[in-house]
Each structure stands twice: as C-alpha cells, then as structure tokens.
Amino acid sequence: MGPRVLADRYVLLGELGRGGMGVVWRAEDRVIGRHVAIKELRLPEGAADAGVFAERVLREVRTGGRLNDPAVVTVFDVLSEAGTTFIVMELVEAPTLSDLVRERGPLPAQQVAVIGEQVLSALKAAHDAGIVHRDVKPGNIMVAANGRVKLTDFGIAQAVDDPRLTTSGMLVGSPAFMAPERVSGHEATPASDLWSLGATLFFAAEGIVAFEKSSTAATLHAIVNEVPYLTHTRGPLASAIMGLLAAAPEGRLGAEQTRGLLRAASAGVGQQTPPGGAYTAVHTGPPPTMVTPGAPTGPRRRTPLVVAGVVVVVGLLAGAVFLGRWWGSAAAAPDPATAGQVMTYGRAGDIQSFSDPSSEYCYTELPRTGYSMSSDQRVDCDKPHRTEAIAEAAILGDSVSYDENPPLAAYPGMPRLTAWAQARCQLTFESNKIDKTAEGPLKLYVLVPTEQEWNATPAGSGSPVRSAYCLVARQDGGEMQRPVTGKVK
C-alpha cells in the first residue's frame, strides 16, 4: 500500500506528534517540492458540536494568515477530506521549550530572555491584529538550534473583534499557564497572554511550573491565591517575570516595559553573582521580584496588595544591579530617542547642591549646570512646577556602610553608570506610571553621582550617596500644573 496522499498534492511521510486535538504529520508538497507539517484535526472527546469545532479550525487558518512575524508559524492551506480537516503549515523541526527544560533543567537567563523577546514579538503582532493567542505555554514554543523561536498553535486563538464564536463557558487553554482573570471567568485579553508568557518564562528560568499542583482545581486555586518564588533568577529577567505575573491586569507589565527588561537581561545586565551567592538587589516596592538563595521554593499566599496589583509596576522595573567587581560586563544600550539627558550631581558635578533629594518632590526650576536642587526650590507637585522627580534608583541600597576598608564597591566608571541609569529611568518613563498626556510632550533627565560624590566619606555614620534620579519636565520648559505620576502631597 502506497503512502497516503491528500488533495492529490501532499504525501504523508510520517507522524511528528499527537495530542488531544489530533495528529501532526510530516508531508511533502509535490507542487512546490518542500516539506510541510500537516495537522490532522479530530473532534475533541466530549465535544458535541462539530460545526463549532470546524469554525474554530477555519479561525486558526484565518489567524495564521493575518499574522506576519518571524516567530509565528505560517499556515499555508486548509483541506477537508472524508469529514476530516487538515491544516498545512510551515514545518519547524525543533524541540519545544518544554522539551528543552525537561532535558537540560533551568535555562541560562540570557537564553530565556532571548526566547521571551521573540515570543513577545509574536504576541505583539497578534495583539496588534486584534488576536489573543489564549494558550501561550512551553509546549507551544519551538526553539531551533540557532536560537530562532516559533510560537505555534493559534488554534484556540480568538479574534477579539469576532463575536460569532463562544466556548459555552468552557475554559480554553492550559490550566497551569492561564491568567488569574481567566480562571475567574473573564474573557482572555492581550494582558492574559502576557501573564501566560510570564508563567512560561518562570518555567524556563526555574525549571518548574510556577503554579502546578496535583489537580486542576488546586492549580487554578494557586493561580488566583498564591505568588511563586524565584530561587534561581535575578536581575531584569526576574523583574520581567514577576511583573508579568501580577495578579491584576492593570498592574501587569505591558509589552514595551517587558521588552526593555528582556533586552537588558539578554545583554547580560545584572546577571553576575558575587562570591558566596549573596547579591544586592534594587527593589522599590512590593512584591519582591527575587529571593535570596535558600528561600522556600513553594509558593506563598497573595497579600491583598499583591492581588490589587496596581502599584507593582514601579517596583518591578527597578531590577537588580551589581557593582564593583560584580558589576555587569555590559549594559543594554538605551533607546536614544527616550534615553534622557544625563547630568551629574554632587562634588564637581553639574548640580553641586542636592539637599535631601527624593522621588517625591517637584521643583520650580529646570535642571541645569549650576542649578541647586534644594528645599528652596521644592514645592508640592499639585502646585505650579517645572521639574518632577519620578523615580529614585538606589544603586547600592540602604545597607551600605563605610566601616569597610576598602569600601564595598568601587566607582564603576561614568559610561557604565550612565548606561544603567538611563535604562532604569527610561523604563519608568515608558511605564504606565507616567501620564504623558497630562502636560504635553515631556523630556527625561537622568542624574548620576560624580566619582567624587561616589567616593566621598559621609558625615557621621551615614551612608554614601549612590543613587540615580529620574526627573521629567516639559519639552518647552514651561510650567506644569499637575503631577504626571498622579502623586499629590
């Protein structure tokens, strides 16, 4: 008996895999002379409406045809023979992300970040087209040996502008990678896909499924009520993962903030760990984006603040950074269009007098050489002002003591310090913390300490001043009448 042929064109050569929705075959397209993958779809067990299933198949084809991104598997054709539907797709011969982690364990942070960037690109293409994937998970991500990634199986994707189809209240997707709002019965949205991406990156970086329990019910309960621990992951990748896993969609990282963090992680920023496994993490708000070695590996209960999720973004964007002998060997290049004007402060700096700096204040003058950021120029942000501080990035945190000889961390050099501070400020500037429509086009300023200020011994028992400050002003230098961050003192 000869090989099976579909539509007098596609010769089935062998089975590539199978699952609940059917079998995937390797096939040869006789017309073009290329190998393709053909998904033979079968009516799911227990499904009674063949019409709805057939419509979902056609939707997969329409979905694939609408997307144009290197990380999306291309759909070529759809066939129907003897009551069975076949989808002809691009053949991608590569293991899934699930296979890779099962074989190798947790993947390196830079590799996880590169994978995440490509999946994010595919999701953005889908979301821009009004399509929600609804089943982002490791098993639907294929990773080739050259690092190229393909997001597969838009078969249950739902075009948000297509009201014809429903799932009759049935949850569609993989439970362990399903966003909390979907578990609670709400419709899938682009933010839901981003949460699933966060759960997928957690799995890739940690080697375990964040919320998987012994039963589906327990897994869904954990998704809604618990927060997972990161035990291996730190730095920008940790910030990206935990930002994506925020319980409330409105508190979740968006695509652009996520892309910035993943780019920083893929460049190796903040990945080195000092001897003994200890490290200094910058974190400006709950929940924690990373845990120290030896922390419990099980998930913890969500606090009401975590469930609310509204304030999580600002803290998550801080990431982690290591200085002195542990400072990253390379820094991610910030976007020149929004990187911000860099100025120095402290001894021999552009701004020499910088008393009681804080991210909670506004100032009556614009930052400039010779400008004094003192209490005389400080005003409440609901009063007319020209400059608003939007973030303080404590480079070493509050635990630095000058009792050590030599000091804990040497000055990293202006290029590296500037690159880190610009990236940190740009993340805040591009986040949903900033209302860019409040006062018209805004300009970002990035303030970093001079080497003299970095190395200066503080008076008394205080700590050295080693923070970067992010400020905004109107591009035309005019007065702002209200805070762009919504803070009112």
Q: Residue written as tokens 């011969």? A: 93
Same domain assignment for residues 169 and 313: yes
Q: Tell me how far apart the alpha carbons of residues 102 and 131 are, in angstroms, rounded to a whole number.
A: 30
User: What's the pLDDT band for 486 if we cut at 50, 70, 90?
Assistant: low
Domain range for 449: 337-474
Same domain assignment for residues 29 and 149: no
| Structural domain contains residue 18 | yes
User: What's the pLDDT band for 339 if we cut at 50, 70, 90?
Assistant: low
Same domain assignment for residues 315 and 348: no
8 noted as active-site residue = no
- Which of 40, 55, 90 corresponds to the end of one domain? 90
- Which of 42, 57, 90 corresponds to the end of one domain? 90
The model's pTM: 0.57
* Number of domains forming the structure of the chain: 3
Q: What pLDDT score does 203 carry?
A: 96
Q: What pLDDT score does 324 carry?
A: 30
| Structural domain contains residue 406 | yes
Q: pLDDT per residue over 71-107, tens digit each?
A: 988 888 888 888 788 889 889 889 999 999 999 999 9
Same domain assignment for residues 182 and 279: yes
**Which one is predicted more confidently, 381 or 196?**
196
Same domain assignment for residues 147 and 251: yes
Mean pLDDT for the stretch of residues 49-66: 68
| Structural domain contains residue 482 | no
CATH number for the domain that contains residue 78: 3.30.200.20
Contact in structure between 107 and 44 (CB atoms under 8 Å): no
CATH number for the domain that contains residue 217: 1.10.510.10
Q: Tell me how far apart the alpha carbons of residues 117 and 259 are, in angstroms, rounded to a whole number.
A: 6
Query: Which residue among 99, 128, 135, 380 is the active-site one?
Result: 135
**Which one is predicted more confidently, 477 or 336?**
477
State CA 97 to chain mean position distance.
17
Q: pLDDT per residue over 151-184, tens digit each?
A: 987 755 655 555 444 444 444 557 899 999 999 8
Backbone angles phi, psi at 278, to 5 degrees: -90, 155
Q: What pLDDT score does 158 carry?
A: 57
| Structural domain contains residue 486 | no
Q: Tell me how far apart the alpha carbons of residues 35 and 21 are, in angstroms, rounded to a whole number.
A: 22
- Which of 73, 90, 107 corresponds to the end of one domain? 90
| Structural domain contains residue 311 | yes
State CA 94 to chain mean position distance.
24
Q: Tell me how far apart the alpha carbons of residues 16 and 30 are, in angstroms, rounded to a whole number.
A: 19
Q: pLDDT per residue over 393-404, tens digit each?
A: 766 543 344 444
Helices (H), 133-288: 180-183, 190-206, 216-225, 235-244, 255-266
User: What's the pLDDT band for 312 if we cut at 50, 70, 90?
Assistant: very low
Same domain assignment for residues 150 and 202: yes
Which is nearest to 6 in space by CA: 87, 71, 65, 63? 87
Same domain assignment for residues 275 and 146: yes
| Structural domain contains residue 485 | no
Same domain assignment for residues 312 and 414: no
Question: For residue 448, what is the enclosing H or E element?
Answer: strand 442-449
Same domain assignment for residues 299 and 406: no
Same domain assignment for residues 169 and 316: yes
**Which one is predicted more confidently, 279 or 194?**
194
Contact in structure between 248 and 308 (CB atoms under 8 Å): yes
Q: pLDDT per residue over 427-457, tens digit each?
A: 788 777 788 777 788 889 999 888 888 887 6
Answer yes or no: is pLDDT of 287 > 50: no
**Which one is predicted more confidently, 225 or 191?**
191
Q: What pLDDT score does 263 carry?
A: 93
| Structural domain contains residue 427 | yes
Q: Tell me how far apart the alpha carbons of residues 320 and 412 are, in angstroms, rounded to a whole number.
A: 15
Q: Is 39 annotated as a binding residue?
A: yes
**Which one is predicted more confidently, 428 or 19?**
428
Same domain assignment for residues 84 and 173: no
Q: Which two tokens stand for residue 351?
A: 């701004």
Same domain assignment for residues 110 and 218: yes
The percent of residues in the chain predicted with pLDDT above 70, rounded, is 69
Contact in structure between 480 and 384 (CB atoms under 8 Å): yes
| Structural domain contains residue 479 | no
